[in-house]
Amino acid sequence: MTELLTAAQMRAIEEAAIASGEVTGLELMERAGRGVVEAIFEEWPELKAGSFRAVVLCGPGNNGGDGFVVARLLKEWGWEVEVFLYGEPEKLPPDARVNYERWLGMGEVAALASGFAVSSRKPSVVVDALFGTGLSRPVHGLGSTFLDLAEARQSIWPNNRIGIACVAIDLPSGVCSDSGRALKSPDFRGLAENVAAVPSAQADLTVTFHAPKQGHLLDDGPSLCGKLVVKSIGLGSLERQRSVHVELVSEASGARSKYSFDLLKGAWGIPSHKYTHGHALILSGPSGKGGAARLAARGALRIGAGLVTVGCPPEALAENAARLDAVMLKAVADGDVLSEALADPRINALCLGPGLGLDERARGLLVVALQSRGKPRLVLDADALTLLSQNPDLFAALHINCVLTPHAGEFARLFPDIDEKLAAPATKGPAYSKVDATREAAKRAGCVVLYKGPDTVIADPSGRASINSACYDRAAPWLATAGSGDVLAGFITGLLARGFAPMQAAETAAWLHVECARKFGPGLIAEDLPDQLPAVFRDLGL
């Protein structure tokens, strides 16, 4: 999988490289600066062809040192460069101080403070090298962060989004590297509570090094970073020194990892029968409420479950029969009937929640499902999550073979104290993140938790976590449509039926869910998602 790093993990990797003698801090800074200039020219090739103007905003740490390298390289390219420093030169770290001195041999450095003045001539590029991954607290004063600087850019260069490329080194300054949240002091004077909604507060390009950081994929991070580019600074051969890490569910780590690939391929290429691929049971609610379960059932069938049955109240059989063909039907009036059905060992995956309802029947079905202790494995979504939040005894019965799939509202009902921590203003870094929240929830629940959103986080009780990101070039905003979560629940259920472990089923289903949305494009409705799976599978070579 593609590994995502925290600020502390990245710092440890760099320190290990320096301690090994393989590289010096000054060399790493030079490589970083060259990577930024390279990324600028790759993104805007026309800027490589002549002399342009840049404003470089340098901070008091090593991020500022990277900025001085960028300024020097652009100056050597023939650009006019104006440099500002936030902080005192004598307090710069040693390597940053060296590059500050090198720049002084080529140009001036002005102080960056409240009311700072720049040339009225609009630059082609503004480089934010103020605060990178190491920022741990809000910084006061206009111009102290890239977010605050939005106000200054508006007044200094009217219509500044036209013709000015805003480039951030590591992260737009003021954003927490671990959580993607903007660090705000109690008297924050920002342009809006949701800074990602403010176009002038966004970078056009963010250049980071070695590996993406969690904050690039979480919360406001993707909106504020613009386009994300990762540049190598020569650390790839090092053995990483790290604690439990987070991984990015991507093409290489989701459906195309060798183990997932083999499981998806399964027995499709050898003689087999439907039970080879498992039997998934999707429990449905009363008449008029069966659409969500039917969406989940179709998702489970398309993703490869050999047999899918919808279990509904007897009075809903006719309605579901009119809408389903390849999916089987079974009357499941109450928990006793479900208990009898689960005596069939071929049923190895069970989904409860989509359109299930919150009545005594629904509660009885959930009791029986949880008493099964993982045979079959369970996906609990929608109404089942609400029932869990209302019944501590049911929550206590969760086990390692369950997968919970809450959206933000459901997560808040299930884990109100955890949600409160996540919703609190981020006043220092590393700020409490969605990864932290999902890990804590998974440990408490004793099972896999998939916390939905464009920055879906998946965690298990051991602390293993991954992010399925639908942002940057994987953005699929049309996925925010009624019923898409029901299809995702069905995807997970189908993969459990195929033999996937809960964590792997959740990761792979989430990845395929986004790929199906991207394959279809705008105009998507939930019914379209399962029908895109064959094309996605063909693209994967299955």
Q: Of 243, 265, 294, which residue constitutes the final position of a domain?
A: 243
CATH number of 456's domain: 3.40.1190.20
Contacts of 520 (CB under 8 A, 6+ apart): 478, 528, 529, 532
* Long-range contacts of the stretch 412-418 (C-beta < 8 A, 24+): 413/385, 413/386, 413/389, 414/385, 414/388, 414/389, 414/441, 414/445, 415/440, 415/441, 415/444, 418/444
CATH number of 190's domain: 3.40.50.10260
248 belongs to a structural domain: no
What is the number of structural domains in the chain?
Answer: 2
97 belongs to a structural domain: yes
Is the preceding peptide bond at 376 cis, omega within 30 degrees of 0? yes
Q: Which of 500, 512, 400 is closest to 459 using CA atoms?
A: 400
73 belongs to a structural domain: yes
Same domain, 206 and 267: no
pLDDT at residue 188 in the model = 43
Same domain, 234 and 295: no
67-82 exposure pattern, b = at least 16 Cβ within 10 A, e = fewer: bbbbbbbbbebebbbb
Q: Of 204, 223, 243, which residue constitutes the final position of a domain?
A: 243
pLDDT at residue 262 in the model = 65
pLDDT at residue 192 in the model = 39
Same domain, 176 and 306: no
123 belongs to a structural domain: yes
pLDDT at residue 134 in the model = 74
- Give the separation between CA 518 and CA 532, rounded to whole angstroms: 9
10-residue averages of pLDDT along the chain (542 residues) = 86 92 94 98 93 92 96 96 92 96 94 64 88 70 48 49 81 90 60 44 89 94 93 72 64 50 59 74 95 97 95 96 94 96 94 97 97 89 98 97 98 98 88 96 98 97 95 94 97 96 96 97 97 94 84
pLDDT at residue 115 in the model = 52
Same domain, 105 and 233: yes
Same domain, 14 and 85: yes
Same domain, 224 and 266: no
Same domain, 214 and 317: no
10 Å CB burial of residue 343 (0-12, 13-18, 19+) is exposed
pLDDT at residue 136 in the model = 66
Q: Of 189, 212, 243, which residue constitutes the final position of a domain?
A: 243
101 belongs to a structural domain: yes
Put residue 17 in one of left, alpha, beta given phi > 0 → left and psi -120 to 50 → alpha.
alpha
pLDDT at residue 400 in the model = 96
500 belongs to a structural domain: yes
Same domain, 238 and 259: no
Domain that holds residue 154: 2-243
Same domain, 261 and 231: no
Q: For residue 91, how far is the Cα from the chain centroid? A: 36
Same domain, 456 and 363: yes
Same domain, 17 and 87: yes
Same domain, 72 and 139: yes
249 belongs to a structural domain: no
Residue by residue, DSSP assigns 227-258 as EEEEE--S-TTSPP--SS-EEE--TTTTTTSH
Put residue 387 in one of left, alpha, beta given phi > 0 → left and psi -120 to 50 → alpha.
alpha
250 belongs to a structural domain: no
Percent helix, percent strand, percent coil in the chain, to nearest 5: 45, 15, 40
